[in-house]
Amino acid sequence: MSPRKKSKTKSASHMVPEPDITPNVFLNLTTHTDNFDTNPLPLSWGASDPLVRGPILCTIRHQSQRNAIGAHSGSYCIYTGLAVAAGKLDPDYMPNLTLTSPVFPIGPFPSWSDPKKIASIDPFGHVTTQAYKAYLDKGFDIRPTIAVTKAHIDLPETREAMKAGRLKADGVILKESGQSIVSKCAVEPVWYLPEIARRFECTEGELRQAIFRMTNGMYPELITRPDIKVFMPPIGGLTIYIWGDPATIPDEDIPLTCRVHDECNGSDVFGSDICTCRPYLTHAIEECIRTAQNGGCGIVVYFRKEGRSLGEVTKYLVYNTRKRQEGGDTAENYFDCTEQVAGVQDTRFQALMPDPLHFLGVTKIHNFISMSDMKYNAIVNTGIKIENRIEIPKELVPEDAQVEITAKVFHGYNAGETYANVDAEDMKNTKGREYNY
């Protein structure tokens, strides 16, 4: 059933149980599968009908009926606790969602009912007020995990591209002011644990135990509630930016340009030149605008995966190690420094990354603005075709980022013609600046 159409069910309200309201004075350290008062709402992940699939219920109002572990808002859920502690937020407050529905439609697509394609976000997370109106009308506190809106984006690099003649205003995609017009989605992580475990080649039990252990027991229900298969982790989500008509995305005959970008606050926001993150991001946006102006569509998926998901503190510790090591900051030791500090080179593990592309109905990318072999392999392994891989132009690579780009190309990033023939000698000779600290 399309979430935008009326249900063919005679009466959706007959399928909806009565809500069980938990008093806010009640505090339970954990719950167990066989507790007499546990009765989670049924959830059939992968069902194409949202009513058959069932809503994600992960608010404190219905403790006995919750069918997800964790909390809404990712890492920001802690601030909700602070707001309650400070007396600024009533824990019984229910949001008024009347005017929050998506400003443009997305889906449904066949990928929504395939857990192998979507298991880290809720494909019905943006249509809560439509698909689960019967639950809301009965008093269930069910909240969206995806918000869909529109915006104007103003980047100095876009204005520079206009001055240089690479881009021209058309008033539809790009204004004379240099602002580009986008559609965008904010997405919270919602993990279906059995499929997450399959992708990481471990058992569901091993996955639950590892998360429980590495969060210092933060979520005991990972162990005590094996019947609950959905987890809303306390991590950053993602944002999808779309230039052009989103309705064209599933059409393989219409050009689609795409970049999947992992957050780098130092470069993306403040312009640090030790990496290529902002230049590659703004180059991708320029290509997305150009594609949209030519009748296609452009997508940037922006993940909150700071420092290869190791965090910004770890990233800065790695910077110090790189700059202070004997022989200086060389491409030869680029990855070794990360492993020396963090014990691992990268924890992004791109197995979950293609999910938002499948949420949008992507089946073919004509221009993939990325050199990452890990991202490319993860995407094509889920059935999405990639026609062209576009490397970052050499003139956009900052001086101190030569270490990064050389090391990545040598270790398997797509070099294209621009970075061909990087060898061991280049790895030894490519050095970053000295900071003398």
**The tokens of 102 are what?**
């998506």
Nearest to 357 by CA among 372, 379, 386: 379
Distance (Å, rounded) from C-alpha 101 to C-alpha 241?
18
Distance (Å, rounded) from C-alpha 278 to C-alpha 289?
16
Nearest to 149 by CA among 180, 186, 107: 186
Exactly one of 245, 251, 273, 346 is catalytic; name it: 346
Distance (Å, rounded) from C-alpha 144 to C-alpha 72?
9
**The tokens of 123 are what?**
């494909």
Strand order in the sheet with 385-389: 146-154, 179-187, 238-243, 297-303, 256-262, 364-368, 385-389
∠ CA 167-169-170 to the nearest 5 degrees?
120
375, 166, 150, 259: CA torsion to nearest 10:
0
348 part of the active site? yes
Distance (Å, rounded) from C-alpha 149 to C-alpha 99?
12
Exactly one of 290, 322, 348, 389 is catalytic; name it: 348
Q: Output the CA–CA distances (angstroms, integers) from residue 252 to 11, 116, 132, 286, in the order listed.
A: 38, 21, 32, 21
**What residues contact 39, with CB distance under 8 A and at least 6 apart?**
20, 64, 65
| Helices 156-163, 277-293: inter-axial angle, 10-degree rounding | 60
Under 8 Å between Cβ of 233 and 189: yes
329 part of the active site? no
Indicate which residues carry an active-site annotation.
346, 348
